[in-house]
Amino acid sequence: MSIKENIENLFKKIPEPVKLIAATKRRSIKEIQEAISAGIRIIGENYVNEAAEKFQILGKNVEWHLIGHLQTNKIKQAIEIFDMIETLDSLHLASKLNEEIRKTKRKMPVLIEINSGREENKTGVLPEDCDGFIEKMDRFENLRVLGLMTMGPLVKNPEDIRQFFRLTREIFEKTAGKNIPGIKMEYLSMGMTDTYKIAIEEGANIVRVGTLIFGPKN
């Protein structure tokens, strides 16, 4: 099946309010251009350097989301490319990002990454620390918190990820109910190729899909 056919099939399966991000790590410009021609409006990149090379060619024809960890030494470059950072995972990063964004007189939309599986080898805010983290976000006037994102642990059976998506949705709903000034729970980004259907069932309105669009990586 072609990239165009893959995307058409996905659009049939994904309900209207849910945003589809094409995860384009290690995908060629030609592949990404095909995806854009087929209706993709948001691409997600994991690495700032790789995104920068693609951005020089593709520019602002699409919306750019950072879906991988942001290192503080890449912040200046990242804010020139990305429309949203989906992986805000520490107050230190928030402070540095806010500082750099201030110089541009912009506000950067961000999602707070939740380490829903409490995995030591992964970044993200632990579920039990989320309340305190969010309450401290009001000091960063150039960041717009618009929701949450989670990866969840790698699982063999996609159904095993449901509990982690559900936990993240519960945090999302609890936070939304508090009506914290400056914090808007608009987006819940969860799910990839194997798990996007479960993510949508559990409340995701952004899904990040790579293999189902482009096929296996070479």
Taking only the tens of pLDDT, the chain with its 218 residues reads: 999 999 999 999 999 899 999 999 999 999 999 999 999 999 999 999 999 999 999 999 899 999 999 999 999 999 999 999 999 999 999 999 999 999 998 999 999 999 999 999 999 999 999 999 999 998 999 999 999 999 999 899 999 999 999 999 999 999 999 988 889 999 999 999 999 999 999 999 999 999 999 999 87
Task: Select from 3.20.20.70, 3.90.950.10, 3.40.366.10, 3.20.20.10 the CATH code of 3-213.
Answer: 3.20.20.10
CA distance 163 to 165: 6
Q: In sequence order, what DSSP letters do the residues of 36-80 get, joined into one string? A: HHTT--EEEES-HHHHHHHHHHHGGGSEEEE-SPPPGGGHHHHHH
